[in-house]
Each structure stands twice: as structure tokens, then as C-alpha cells.
Chains A and B, each alone.
Chain A
Amino acid sequence: MLQSTDGFVFPEPESLHERQREEASFAYLIPFVTIIGGLPLPIVNLIVCVLYWNYAKKKTPFVRFHALQSLFTTIPIVLINAGVVFLALNMILWEMDYANWMGGYFLAAFLFNLIEFVFNIYAAINARKGKSFLFIGFGALAYNMIDWEDERDERF
């Protein structure tokens, strides 16, 4: 879910270098890149996002903002997926009996992952175009945590 960017100042897409856009876009593609590791162990997704944020900290505010926004939006879905893994392990290894709420949890988690997937694709495409957008809640938090004045002297 997106919120309006009114009142937030972002760099003009034309002012951004190709490489900056790619790096910003990549922040949203990480969850897919790590999907193989992230399926059995969702924490892998989070670790890679943190590592990417660590890398992006040295980059321009535009890249930093997108890396942080991606990291923030990954945290809740990782928690939900950890619940899925926990339930599945219990059912497989310790023969926990199936209950209706577990089916409900799996379906809700699937739906949330699907929504996350769609928004990540949208985000990656738009970041690639040099556009900026805010995910509800987390976007504004990431925006406020970035020092937009701190333009690193990057050579491309």
C-alpha cells in the first residue's frame, strides 16, 4: 500500500545516474533473489536485506532511502513467514495436529506474501525509473531517517 508523497521532497529522476537507479531497484529485488534460502528459513531474507542496507549506507540518499524502505517492509513479512515455518515444522516433525486456524494462517500468509510480491515488483520497476514512492508507515519512517543533505561524492 502506498501513501501520497505530498510534502516529501525527492530527487528528480533526471538527476539520478543509471547506477543509482539500479541500486535502488535492486533493494526490492533482494527478496526474490534470496527466495531459495528464504523459503525454508525466512530470516535469510532479512539478513540479506540488512547486509544490503549496510552496503547502501555509503551510497547517495536516493539509494539509501530505497534500501531502508525495503528493509522495513521486509521485517513484518519475515515474522509472518517465521510463523509458517514454525507451524510446518511442528506439524511435520512433532506431529502437531492440524487445526482450522493453521489453514487460515497459511492462507493469510500466502495472501500477504502475494501482496508483498506485487508491491516489490512495482517498487523495483519504479525505482529503476528513478521515481520515489512511500509505502504506508514504513516509507515515511525511512524518509525521516535518511539525511538527505548527506550527498556522497560518488563517481560513476
Chain B
Amino acid sequence: MNVFKHVVIYFAVFALLVYIFSQLSLVKRDNVQEFTKQQEDRLISAIKESFVTSRTLVDNELITNAIELISERLLHTLEEPKFEYSFYVIRNSSVNAFALPGGVIVLHTGLLSFAESPEEVAAVIAHEIGHSEKGHIMQKLMKEIGFSVVFTAITGGDLGAISEIARRLISTRYDRTYEIEADAFALQMLENASIDPRYLAAFFHRLSESSDDILDRLDILSTHPSHSSRRQAALAYQTAPDFEAVPFDGFNWELVRGLSKR
């Protein structure tokens, strides 16, 4: 018994040390340094400017109205949004959506034509809002590009560097933990907006059954094997007993899809 007691003490001391050292945050891999509000604002407007001007924005009212209706319903569920969100639809056939700093959310027409229902688009938008609200975008920016480079780009006002930052921001993936966090956020948000959260799982499922080409280019669903577990998590999400899904109205989704395919 004496030995057993000592073995327990040995591992208890070890566990205590692990706990104490964990509290030290040995590796600060996220933003150790932070931008001032003013610098961040400048970065946001520069990225927005360089990004939006270099892409073909869709100005079809039917499409933009539909996105506005979907996003408004989602945003109503946020008590205190971190940003003033703005949504852009870009003419691009790849199935993609991404969030830029400052609450800018960009959707490709490919995503709209792929989605069988507005609820699926809502699920993707909710996921991207999740990345924005949880501050993942700035963290990814720091991790992928580094504080000093971003800082120089802002203060130097070099448009080439800023558009490169925007490009990198779009082409790199989030950490898996961030994806899971954004999924959890999206599921909650969908429920609050009276949209069935299972549409997120349905969307994942249809994507995984589509061609690899789409998967490769898709930001929301990484090619990491964990995507099936993300789908499982979305399926396992329990809505409140009195939950009742309310369908979208005010636009014809098939028409929006058809216009997006052009």
C-alpha cells in the first residue's frame, strides 16, 4: 500500500506541474501583439477596397435581396454584433464563401447555385459569421502572415501587399479547432434564427459526395479527414423541444440559383 500511495503522489505531483506550466502559456502562438483599433480599421478598409475592386461583384437585385434576407435573419439573433456586417456576392463558379476582417463576408455564385435551399446558404453564412465573431480572422492573419508584415503593409499603404494579404487570407485554412468553434456557433445561430441546424450537416454531406475538385477549393470544408466528424457533430446537435423551423419567403430560390449559374 505504501508503494501505491507513493505512485499516486508521484503522478499527482506530475499532473500539478502540468497544470501550473499550462497556466504559463509557454507558446503564445496567437496574436501576442495587437493592432490598435485605428490600425485595424485601416487594414479592414484597405483589404475591402483592394478585394472588392478587383472582383466582379454581382449586382443582380434578386440575388442580393435574397442574401440580404437570409443574412438579416441570422444577424437579428446577435445581441451585440462585433462588426457591421456587409455581404458581397462574387461571380465565381467555385463553391466557396469566406470572411474577411471587419465583418466582410464574401459568397461565390458557385455556392449559391450549388445550394439546394436558402437554408444551406444560411448555414454557410452562419459559419462565416462565427469566424468573424470569434476573432479567428485576425488570428489567422497573425499566424499565416505575421504581425510585422501586416503592420508594414498597413503603415506603408502598399496596395500590392494588402491585396496579397487578402489573397493569403482566403487561400489558407483555419485550424481545425477554429472550424469546430465556427460550426458550433453556426448551429446555435441557425437554431436561434428558426432555421433547422441540420442543414449544415446536409450541406457537408452533399459536398463530400461531390467532386474532389470542389472540395479542394472549398474553404468551409477542409479536406482534412475530420470533416465527417464535423458532419456528425452537426447531426448530433439537439434543438430545443419547442423548436420550429420557419421557411424563408420573399424570394424564389430556384430563380436565384438559376441566375447564379449564368
Contacts and interface: CB of A to CB of B under 8 A. Distances in A.
B8 to A, nearest CB: 10
Interface residues of B, number: 24
Interface stretch (B20-28, B51-59, B250-258): B20-28
Contacts of A138: 3, 6
A27 B78 CA distance: 65
B22 A104 contact: yes
B11 A76 contact: yes
A100 B175 CA distance: 15
Contacts of B14: 80, 108, 112
B6 A97 contact: no
Contacts of A95: 176, 224
B29 interface: yes
A137 B25 contact: no
Interface in B11-36: 11, 14, 17-27, 29
Q: Is the interface of B mostly helix, strand, loop or mixed?
A: helix
B5 interface: yes
Contact of A137 (B6, B23, B26, B175): B6
Contacts, number: 60
Interface string A70-104: 00000010001000000000000001011011011
Nearest to A96: B176
Contacts of B175: 97
Contacts of A98: 27, 29
Contacts of A80: 14
A100 B25 contact: yes
B144 to A, nearest CB: 15
19 contacts: A95-B224, A97-B175, A97-B177, A100-B23, A100-B26, A100-B27, A101-B22, A103-B27, A104-B21, A105-B22, A107-B17, A107-B26, A108-B17, A112-B14, A112-B17, A136-B6, A137-B5, A138-B3, A138-B6
